[in-house]
Structure 1
Amino acid sequence: MARNFARSISFPLSPSRSSKPRAPSASAYHARSVSLPCRSHPILAHLHTHIRAVRAWAQQGPASASASVAAGLAHVDALHAALGDLLDLPEAQALLSGAGASTDRFLDAFLRLADAHGCFQESVVALKQDVAEALTAVRRRDGARLASAVRAQRRAGKELARLAAAARECAVRPSRLSILGSGGQVGAAEAEVTGLLMESAAATASASAALFGTVAAMSASVASVAAESCSCKRTAALVCLVKAKKKSRSGEQVEEEETMGAVAERLEELEECIEELEAGSEKVFRSLVQTRVALLNIHTLHIF
């Protein structure tokens, strides 16, 4: 990773606060460690901050629904906004234009991540439709319709779990990227920029895996509750509900109503979470595409 290199950045440094014009001394460009601040370009420090925030969110294991998931999406979006600022710097573009094969690997990594988030958006749309269908079935006490919606919801959950596994694979790939140039030598400034790209890709992949996995777990939990409320071992869900209506004791009818009410409440919570996810996931997808486009432009300019 980049933190193994001494960092001596050739980017424009923060302007001196001294009123006397003088040439920068050698100490102004001293090597620095990751843990200590330096007069490096502020965009680099800003990007480091967002990388740490994304990693912290992914490692904490988001426990509850919409608030935590929405926060994760916001962190990833902020990370790529900062990464876009870095890629806009002419100095960073000059360094990356000579990165050669490393740039190709970064292009592949961010393409995989953009594809994963594009598929995530499709899965979220499908899941939203399945949840809406299940809610309608619960409100109409239509057991067969609810069972069908639950099966569809489980399929959507499995797709989200598959995407989480794919994102975890993306998290491994960037960490193996070589930051050596074609001649086996790399400057400190190039190591800094290339290392930040590597860390950004790895952090995004880890957060994406956590995000997809959390939504898949939420969907599976709600689907399980809905299935248990309307199914039995040997008969269709509709038969169960019909039998429930024929029960003579009012206590059992009240219990049935309470159960279906609890299912409807869980489905509504999931529906609200999905609605919050849609806007955030769209922003992250666009950010990933913009990051890859910026890298592709740098790569193309180097070729021609």
Structure 2
Amino acid sequence: MARAFVRSISFPLSPSRSSSSSKPRAPSSSYHARSVSLPCRSHPILAHLHTHIRAVRAWAQQGPAALAASVAVGLAHVDALHSSLGDLLDLPEAQAALSGAGGTVDRLLDSFLRLADAHGCFQETVVALKQDVAEALAAVRRRDGARLASAVRSQCRAGQELARLAATARESAVRPTRLSILGGGQGSAAEVEVTGLLMESAAATASASAALFGAVAAMSVSVEAESCSCKGTAALVCLVKKNKKKSSAPGCGEEGVAVAAVAERLEELEECIEELEAGSEKVFRSLVQTRVALLNIHTLHIF
């Protein structure tokens, strides 16, 4: 089996990554025969996985400003990682390696379920946040203080939910060790390699998810120039009401400029949320597909 696998690669790469692997690759000295069902990291699918894991972790480690400016990029990195995971889980060799990792597979299934649940909640919160931002923007434009106060309170609740999701994801973003992979037992090199990559992928996804949720939460409260406190909300509402009494012209005086600045920030947040909707849907689907593929492998070997 090992010699046949080294001789040819029968599993096609997905179209999004075929261009990067279309050039012939020179044989590597590290590409040696092993007494396991998977070759070492020189296999293209494994190389792609390591590349995507590094990309996801690098994005998650950026500063708050960079994260806020590239949330769509972060989602694309996570989606690409799980697309590559799907390629790995389609390999018969990988499926065979997972057949004896029952306890580890159970933990992986639980990890991917929690991640899928978190991103499902994220989607719901983003939809609610989009409605709150649209409501707040309409209130600012119409100088409706009561309507704005209600919208800002709802927006703050959405921000708090995002912060909670970020904390939950952050708790599970732990790098796996050989001991955690094997659960204290012994396993083949192939089992360690495949389950290790899956656990690395889950940990990287958790880190990126925590960074993503936190970045969107921070953006959702930035329109108030301070945290979502009662004082901040009251000041913003007061500003809108005061500006309405002074003049019906939307851009009159310093206060009019301040209100216009708030409207501009709300518009930017609204545009960002629209980008997030499509990306978050793809990530949620890819997480579900990863878990389904892993569950199918697990179920097949149980029965």
* TM-score in terms of structure 1 length: 0.81
Query: What is the alpha-carbon root mean square deviation over aligned residues?
Result: 3.2
Q: How many residue pairs align between the two structures?
A: 276
Which residue of the partner structure matches residue 13 of structure 1?
6
Q: CA deviation at 1:14?
A: 5.4
Distance across 2 between alignment mates of 1:82 and 1:218: 30
SS class of match (2:174):
helix
Which residue of the partner structure matches residue 41 of structure 1?
43
Q: Letter of the aligned partner of 2:88 in structure 1?
A: L
Distance across 1 between alignment mates of 2:30 and 2:242: 85
**1:164–1:210 contact (8 Å) kept in structure 2:** yes
Give the unaligned 5+ runs of structure 2: 10-28
* TM-score in terms of structure 2 length: 0.81
Which residue of the partner structure matches residue 123 of structure 1?
125
Structure number with larger C-alpha Rg: 1
Question: Identity percentage over the alignment?
Answer: 76
Distance across 1 between alignment mates of 2:130 and 2:113: 26
**Measured at CA, do residues 245 and 190 of structure 1 come closer, stay the same or move farther in structure 2, by a change above 3 Å?**
closer
Distance across 2 between alignment mates of 1:209 and 1:11: 42
Q: Does 1:292 align with 2:291?
A: yes
Residue by residue, what CA displacement relative to the aligned partner does 1:138-169 show, whole Å, maximum 9, x if unpaired?
11000111111111100000000000001011
**Measured at CA, do residues 27 and 75 of structure 1 come closer, stay the same or move farther in structure 2, by a change above 3 Å?**
closer
Q: Letter of the aligned partner of 2:33 in structure 1?
A: Y
Distance across 2 between alignment mates of 1:107 and 1:94: 17
**1:126–1:156 contact (8 Å) kept in structure 2:** yes
Which residue of the partner structure matches residue 92 of structure 1?
94
Distance across 2 between alignment mates of 1:65 and 1:222: 17
**1:105–1:177 contact (8 Å) kept in structure 2:** no
**2:152–2:233 contact (8 Å) kept in structure 1:** no
Which residue of the partner structure matches residue 197 of structure 1?
198
Q: CA deviation at 1:66?
A: 6.1
SS class of match (1:128):
helix
Q: CA deviation at 1:180?
A: 2.0
Q: Does 1:237 align with 2:241?
A: no
Q: CA deviation at 1:132?
A: 0.2
Q: How does 1:1-304 map to 2 (within 5 A)?
A: 12-13=5-6, 15=8, 28-29=32-33, 40-64=42-66, 67-172=69-174, 178-180=180-182, 184-224=185-225, 231-232=234-235, 237=237, 241-247=240-246, 253-304=252-303
**1:120–1:163 contact (8 Å) kept in structure 2:** yes
SS class of match (1:231):
helix
Distance across 2 between alignment mates of 1:285 and 1:192: 25
Q: CA deviation at 1:28?
A: 2.5
